[in-house]
Amino acid sequence: MKYKQKHTHIFLLVLSFFLLGGCGSGCNEESLNQKLQQISEMVTALSTAGEDEKMMQYTQKMQAIRLQKDKDIKAACKAADEALKELS
């Protein structure tokens, strides 16, 4: 009986991580602005490193994300996350 209970507890624990992870991934204006600030700092570093083409590419992406923010904040967050991943 204890064996079955242990597996049930583990299953519920794993399930709660997935469910809470989905809830916590929501994006609001504050978190999006933080992501945009991180992208901006990375773009500045690209400029300093002389990677002008890449800097221009991500500057344009940042502008597109800012424009998208008012229309669809979830899509803007997803785009910001992708840009951060690419820049990392």
Q: In this predicted model, what pLDDT tens digit does every residue of 32-63 receive, in sequence order?
A: 999 999 999 999 999 999 999 999 999 999 99
Write the pLDDT tens digit of every residue in 14-35: 433 433 334 445 789 999 999 9
pTM of this structure: 0.67
Does 21 fall in a domain? no
57 part of a folded domain:
yes
Residues 26, 36: Cα–Cα separation, whole Å: 16
The predicted structure's pLDDT at residue 2: 53
Establish if 66 belongs to a structural domain: yes
Number of domains composing the chain: 1
Residue 6 forms part of a structural domain: no
Alpha-carbon separation of residue 80 from 6, 13, 17, 49, 76 (angstroms): 40, 30, 23, 22, 6
Q: What angle do CA 82, 83, 86 make, to 5 degrees?
A: 85
Residue 31 domain-assigned?
A: yes
Which residues, including other chains, have CB under 8 Å from residue 65's CB and lie 6 or more apart?
Answer: 32, 36, 39, 76, 79, 80, 83
* % of the chain residues with pLDDT over 90: 67
Residue 68 has pLDDT above 50, yes or no: yes
> Is 76 part of any domain?
yes
Q: Domain residues for 65?
A: 26-87
Asked if residue 17 is part of any domain, the answer here is no
Continuous H helices in 2-72 = 2-24, 29-48, 52-69
